[in-house]
Structure formats: C-alpha cells, structure tokens
A and B are shown apart, each in its own frame.
Chain A
C-alpha cells in the first residue's frame, strides 16, 4: 500500500467534475494573466533598454500624456474582465451546484484538531478518512464543534469554511478511484497543521463492503494482552473522550490509514509511539500523555489493533 502522502492534492489535477470546472477556469485565467504579465514585462524591459541614459542618447521628450492611450488601457481591461466574469459565473454553478433541496448523505463535524465523519443513512461514524463510492455525488453537511475550520480537498474541488453557527453544504464526488489528500485550510489553533483529511474513492462494491465492515461490531478481544488492553481502554478514562466526540471514535481505528489526523501512518509501532508520547507528534493537542507502563502500552496497542 502506498503511503498516505503520495495522495493527490494538486489543484490542477481534478478528480471530479466540480474540480474540473475550477481547474479549467484556473488554467485559462493563468494563461490570460500570463499574457498580460508578458506584455507588461516586455514593455518595461524594452523601455529601460531602448531609452537608457547613455552618451549620445537623445534628450528626454517632455510629454504629458495621451487621452487616446488612456482610453485604450481603460476600456480594453474592462472588456476582457467582463469576458472573464462570464466564464466565472459558469464555473461557479458547475463547481458548487445548488444544495438546497437534497438530504445530506454525510455529516462532517470539524473539531480542534480532527474530523468527525458521520454517514447519516448507515450511522457509521469514523474520523479523518472519508470513503466515497466512485461516480456518486454525496451531499455533505458541515458543522463546527468549536472554532472556524475549512474543508479542503484540492482534487475534489472548492474548499468550504466550517463556521460555528453557520452550517454549510457541499456536493463531493470523484470520477475515478484513488486517494485524495486534503487539510483544514482555516487556521484553527495549535495543531492546525495536523488536521489532515484523506478521501478514498472506492468502486461501489468496495464501498458497500467498507460500510458493512464499519457497521459491524469488532471481534471481542481474545489474547490476554488484548483483554488487558480492553480493560485499560475502559479504566484509563479513554472512553471519556473517545466515546463523546471529544476525540475520534476508535471502534474501527485499526482500519484507518493514519493516526492523529495525519500526523502518523497507522502502524502498530506508530500507534505505540503515539500513545507513549502524544506530545512528540502533536504537541498541544488534547490527547493527554497517560504515562503508561511498557506492559500496559503493549496491551493497549494489541487491543486497539483488533478494532478493525
């Protein structure tokens, strides 16, 4: 499996019709602006070379202006911007289709500093990683649990702010399968940098299988370590946060690709390192350091690894 950080986060490599609308507009605008820049650069460079002060250069002409030129460089930009505005209006509708009449499929609640993801039809709750079926449009309802965040997955299209008291909605979809990397794009405090998001666009059958897996109760702990780990999980007040949306729901944590909203790849070794010293990977996050003994740590990791 490729690491999560090879995922596509390029604004000009769209994976959805919405992103394609923006990408085309962006590319066209860049060409248009590039042409203007080239023109200005040429005019400036030509002027300073052609009219540079040197022995024998003609005296400076005392010219005060030209009404005709002023009109030209006022009217031409206005016309070209009017054209640009036309393209803009078209792309706005294509990249952010109306959301009013539909029922949301997905609720994303942004927290300091992780994403809570709730599939409204199946009730599946997960964190920081969204699975979507390829080729199907999902309506997302965004809420904030605390401060302003922003959902941004460049390959899927526009970003959208998640403002407390101001719910937003957005269609997301992907044309073809793949993993798309995103992030919180509005500064939200200490660990804004580690509030990353992964979108996995799966073929429909895989997606259905994933939903089924996430809806199932994970197997009961078997080995001594696993049972001890389950006990620690309950006793060590982990559940105080992780069952109450203060921290991510861990029911299927072992099936995720990253830990701590993208700060680490999800491997048993990384999980142990994270539990041993969360501050080393996400300083200032709300995950406390429980100062677990080596045995407890091993047991807790063993238990969590069963939670697929």
Chain B
C-alpha cells in the first residue's frame, strides 16, 4: 500500500515509535492511555498544591489566636483547597483511571471519541490554571476567591466580594465543568458502544459499571452547576439580580441550584472509588465479588436517590419541618444501598484467601474509614442532629472520612493495583506498607479528633479560635496528624520514583487478576490488544481461561 509511506498513516511503525516517545507527542496525544496518565499526573500536581494549602491552614490552627496567616489568606486557602481537591484532584483522578482502564477492561482499542478525550483533559487543565491565576490578581481586593467551595450568595456577589477572585472561580469552574461533562459523555458512550463481543452489560467489571453510572450523574448535574454559574456571573458582571436579596433575588435559590449539583457530585467522587474497591477486594481474596447484581443495582439506586437529597445541606436554612423531613428520609434511604455494598465487600473476603498487598490494605481500611464517614452521614440526615452539628468541625471530619478515608484510600488502592499495568513495573511493597501505615495513622489523627471539636462547638471555616478548654490540644494534635499525612505522601512519591527506575518487572498479570486489562502486556501496546481480546464468556474472562474445568459459567450453574 502506497499510503503507508505517508508519515502518520496507520501502520507506519517508525512514526508511531516517534509519536509515542517525544514530549510533544504527549501534548498532541489522543491515546486513552497517555491521556489517562496525564489526568493522573495533572491531578497529583494539584493534589500537592491543595495539600500544601491544607498544611498552611493546619499550622494557622495549631494554636489559638495565631497570627501566622491573615484571615484573608486563610479564607482564600480553604476556598482553593476545597475547590481544587474536588474539581481538580478527586474527579480527575477517577476520570483518569477510568480513561486509562475502561477501554482495556471492555476490550476496546480506545475511547469512543479520542479527540474529545484530549479536549476534555486540556479544557480541565486550563480551567484549573485559570482558577489559580486568581492568586496573581493584585490590590486590596485581589487574590483568590474567599467564599468557600460552595460560594454562597450574596457573599459571592460583587457587593461583598468586589475583587476578581470569584470571577476566576466561576470561569475556571465552567472550563473544568465542560471538561468533566465531555469526559462523562465520552465514558458513557465508550461503555455502551465500544464493548468487545461477549462483554454484555451484565458482565461488565464493576469498576466499569460504576463509571457508567458516574457518567450518567455527570451528564445530569454538571449542566446544573453551569446554569448556576452563568447566573452568578450575570449577577457579577452584568448587574443581574438572581441571588441579590436587596433587589428581589433569592440567596436560597443559589443553594438549591448548587446542592442539586453538589450532592450528586459527592457520589461522582465516590462511585468510581466503589468501583476500584469492587475490583481490588475480589482479586486479593481470590474470589468473585459477592452479590454482583446487588452491588451493581445498589449503585443505580444510589445514583437516583442522590438526585433527591440535595436539601439536606440546607436543614439550617429554616425551610420548614415538612421540607426537612422529606429530604431527611431520602438521605437516610441512600444509606441502605450503601450498606449493601459494604456488606457485600466484606462477604467477598469470607472463605477467601486474603493476600495483604498494599492495595488490599488500603481497600480493607477503606471499608472501615468509609463506614465511619457513612455513619456520621446518617447522623447528619437526622435533622435535629444536623441542626446542631452542620457547619461545625464535625462536618469537616465527616466529609474527610468520606472523601479521604473513602475515595483517597480507594485511589491509593487503585494506584498500587494498576501501577504495574500502567508502567510495567511493580510498586515496591515495603515502601508501600510504610506509606499505608503513615497514611492510616496520619489520617485518623488529623480527622478523628475533629468530630470531638465539632461537638465542642468549633465552627468550620474559622481562621482562628479563642483558647477554649480542650480546643488547643485537639487542634494541635490534628495539625500533627496533617504533617504525618503529608509525610506519607512524600513516601508515596519516593516509592514511585524508585519503582519506576528499579521496580520488579510486572509481567502481564502480576496479581492473578481476571479482568481484560490483565490480558495484554504491561504497559499495553497502542490499540491495547495485539493478539486480540480473549473470549468473554463470563465476568472473569481470565479466570475462565485459567480454569477451563470450572469456569464461572459452570460454577454459577452448580450454585443455581
């Protein structure tokens, strides 16, 4: 074929080689694996930045009446910490893993829309850069936004935040929102339309299942945020009146719109983490997931219920008991499908053979940490308890148990589990154990005590506090914990650096795992499966290959 001589034509190996190696090739890449890696690295950089902000805040809070940070700086820092962790760290990390793994796990060559995939990534990154550019705005009212990650109006209106910070926040989030939305569409389309023969919806790996549901939530709620953002922007730049009470606007409306997005967003940040756990626990227990259908169906239940619970963030607003009651009952209901998952993961380990790899350690402690976060979530669904504890440090502790003890632990599990596939080398297990224990101890030291601080009446988002009995010691302890946690991150970085250079060669399937990503080389070649996708006759194609005498299909028939 003559066309093959044209550079860039498919099949020109020298070009592909070059295209895969140069730095520029990353920028121009539309390959889901390269984009997945860039998602993970980009999010990790933002994680370091937002983590530094957290450390500075904890230093400020280490002692009462501290003058280390001015209130203006502290308020900017917690706003940027929250916004960054949610929009630029947790979501991109999960999207990054999904971008890398989903096509592999369903036996596809790439995403449904590879170029859109690149667009999603870059728009998201530029949105993040735009957000951080706000720090460079100068003047008395300059600097980053200082309104909290939910940017309540009218504090976020020009009358009370005249600097350009909130404008950058809005524009940055619109950019990130477009990136996330298109990524959600892309992932959904990939999962629905790109599956290999035999990969029916009932055979999807649970990580893929949960990514599909997450994609649905993204598609529904990102536009809700965008609608809120354009209204706020119109208020700020065009002198509109949406959320300005003094001219008839409604501050409560912003809360409705924001939380109609904001609560499902929590599940966007948690469901893929559930997916990672649903892959890691079975593999290291040597057993299939317990109750596959129930784990999958409960995800659907969570997704739909999550659209009906937003106003449990607004119990303190005073919208009436009947109103509060409705959202309280929906919020409690959502704990039922979540509980189903916890019990199924636990049951998966029973009668298994549990291997204590670092990935499994993180996954098992995820079970416990997430349970704590979920249970304190039930406490918040109980309206009168929320009336006492909302906007206190109890809520700070609660959502860090969900998002750090939950999602971040699951992400660490994912890092140890999939690192060999992505890089071709094992992540060192000894450093891994050190990383795990420091994370576990540091995390609990930082956040467990914050439950008590909240119960003792410490409001969140305060840049300092008076020397109340007990507050000093507990805040100091929490600060110490934060530094232990930061040290743990350093260990992870060291581990990655060492393992990239001299880690053990992984081979195709170092964990004896069963999903399709382990059927190809580590790292996988361009277009993923050089020798074709193995036959898919069940949920664990590689198990079936290795045990032709007792495939899943046979065993399930036996079990009835």
A and B touching (Cβ–Cβ under 8 A): yes
Binding site for B on A (CB under 8 A): 4-6, 9-12, 21-22, 25-26, 29-30, 33, 36-37, 40-41, 43-44, 47-48, 51-53, 57-66, 69-70, 73-74, 77-78, 81, 84-85, 88-89, 91-93, 95-96, 112, 146-148, 150, 152, 154, 157-161, 163-166, 168, 181-194, 196, 262, 283-284
A41 to B317, CA, bound (A): 36
Quick check: B250 and A165 within 8 Å, CB to CB? Answer: yes
CA distance A93 to B321 in the complex (A): 8
B201 contacts chain A at the CB level, 8 A cutoff: no
- Using CB atoms and an 8 Å cutoff, list the residues of chain B in contact with chain A: 70-72, 75, 146-148, 152, 154-155, 159-160, 245-246, 249-252, 285-288, 290-294, 316-318, 321, 324-325, 328-329, 332-333, 335-336, 339-340, 342-344, 346-347, 349-356, 364, 367-368, 371-372, 375-376, 378-379, 382-385, 387-392, 454-457, 459-469, 550, 552, 555-556, 559
Partner of A64, one of B292, B318, B367, B384: B292
B346 in contact with A44 (CB, 8 Å)? yes
Provide the residues of chain B in CB contact with A150, threshold 8 Å: 316, 391
Establish whether residues A25 and B385, one from each chain, have CB atoms under 8 Å apart when the complex forms. yes
Are B152 and A88 in contact, CB atoms less than 8 angstroms apart? no
Contacts A29-B385, A47-B346, A53-B356 supplied; 5 other A-B pairs, CB < 8 Å? A9-B456, A11-B457, A53-B286, A185-B459, A192-B459
Which B residues lie within 8 Å of A69 (CB)? 291, 343, 347
Q: Across the interface, do B559 and A63 meet the contact criterion of CB distance under 8 Å?
A: yes
- Name which residue of chain B comes closest to A54, CB basis: B353
Given A85-B328, A185-B459, A163–B321 Cβ distance below 8 Å?
A: no
Q: Which residues of A contact B335 (CB under 8 A)?
A: 77, 81
- The verdict on A81 contacting B336 (CB below 8 Å), with A164-B245, A183-B459, A184-B459 known, is yes
Could you tell me if A70 and B71 are in contact, using CB atoms closer than 8 angstroms?
Answer: no
B388 close to A158 (CB less than 8 A): yes
Contact B318 A70 (CB under 8 A): no
- Within the complex, the shortest CB–CB distance from B67 to chain A, in Å, comes to 8
State which of B288, B332, B372, B376 has its C-beta within 8 Å of the C-beta of A85: B332
Cα A84 to Cα B147 in complex, Å, equals 35
B339 contact from A60, A77, A168, A184, Cβ within 8 A:
A77
A165 pairs with B245, CB closer than 8 A:
yes
Residues of B within 8 A of A196 (CB): 466
Known: A62-B555, A165-B250. A51 touches B353 (CB 8 A): yes
Most buried by A among B383, B460, B552: B383
Can you report 6 A-B residue pairs in the complex whose CB atoms are below 8 A from each other? A22-B387, A89-B325, A112-B160, A186-B316, A190-B146, A193-B463
What are the nearest 10 A-B pairs in CB distance? A9-B457, A165-B245, A60-B286, A158-B387, A193-B462, A65-B291, A164-B245, A47-B349, A168-B318, A187-B461
A92→B316 CA distance, assembly (Å): 12
- Nearest chain A residue, comparing its CB with the CB of B350: A47
Once A62-B288, A92-B321 are accepted as A-B contacts, the answer to whether A186 and B378 lie under 8 Å apart by CB is no
Known A-B contacts A64-B292, A64-B556; the reply to A11 vs B371 at CB < 8 A is: no
Tally of A-B Cβ pairs under 8 angstroms = 279
The A interface, classified by DSSP as helix, strand, loop or mixed, is mixed
Which residues in A have their C-beta under 8 angstroms from that of B350?
A: 47, 51
Whether A25 lies near B154 (C-beta < 8 A) is no
A306→B367 CA distance, assembly (Å): 62
Distance A39 CA – B354 CA, assembled complex (angstroms): 20
Shortest beta-carbon distance from A208 to chain B in Å: 29
Contact residues in B for A191 (Cβ distance below 8 Å): 71
- Return the contact of A159 from the options B245, B328, B375, B387 (Cβ within 8 A): B387
Could you tell me the distance in whole angstroms from the C-beta of B88 to the nearest C-beta in chain A?
A: 21
Asked if B555 contacts A64 (CB within 8 A), the reply is yes
Complexed CA–CA distance, A194 and B464 (Å): 8
Cβ contact within 8 Å between A48 and B154? no
Q: Say yes or no: A84 contacts B288, CB within 8 Å.
A: no
By beta carbon, the residue of chain B nearest A23 is B388
Check B391–A185 contact: CB distance below 8 A: yes
Shortest Cβ distance from B154 into A: residue = A147
Contact A186 B285 (CB under 8 A): no
Q: Are B385 and A65 in contact (CB under 8 A)?
A: no
Asked if A147 contacts B155 (CB within 8 A), the reply is yes
Which of A51, A59, A61, A186 is close to B152, meaning CB atoms less than 8 Å apart?
A186
A237 CB, nearest partner CB in chain B, Å: 21
A36-B372 Cα distance, complex, nearest whole Å:
10
Q: What's the minimum C-beta distance from A20 to chain B, rounded to whole angstroms?
A: 11
Contact residues in A for B461 (Cβ distance below 8 Å): 187, 192
Among A29, A53, A194, the residue within 8 A (CB) of B379 is: A29
- Compute how far the CA of A12 lies from the CA of B392 in the bound complex, rounded to whole angstroms: 14
From B147, B159, B384, B457, give the contact of A22 (CB < 8 A).
B384
A95 contact set on B, CB distance < 8 A: 384, 387
- What is the CB-to-nearest-CB distance from B502 to chain A, in angstroms, rounded to a whole number? 26
Give A124 to B551 CA distance when docked, in angstroms. Answer: 82
Whether the Cβ atoms of A190 and B75 lie closer than 8 Å is yes
Using Cβ atoms and an 8 Å threshold, which residues of chain A touch B468? 5-6, 9, 181
Pairwise interchain contact A61-B351, C-beta atoms closer than 8 A: yes
B317 A63 Cβ-Cβ under 8 A: no
- With A161-B317, A166-B252 as known contacts, state yes or no: A64 contacts B288, CB within 8 Å: yes
| B288, B343, B559: most-surrounded residue (chain A CB, <10 A) | B343
Closest residue on chain A to residue B558 by CB atoms: A62
Chain A residues, CB < 8 A from B293: 65
B287 touches A146 (CB 8 A): no
Is A26 in contact with B385, judged by CB distance below 8 angstroms?
A: yes
Contact check, A96 vs B70: say whether CB atoms are below 8 A apart.
Answer: no
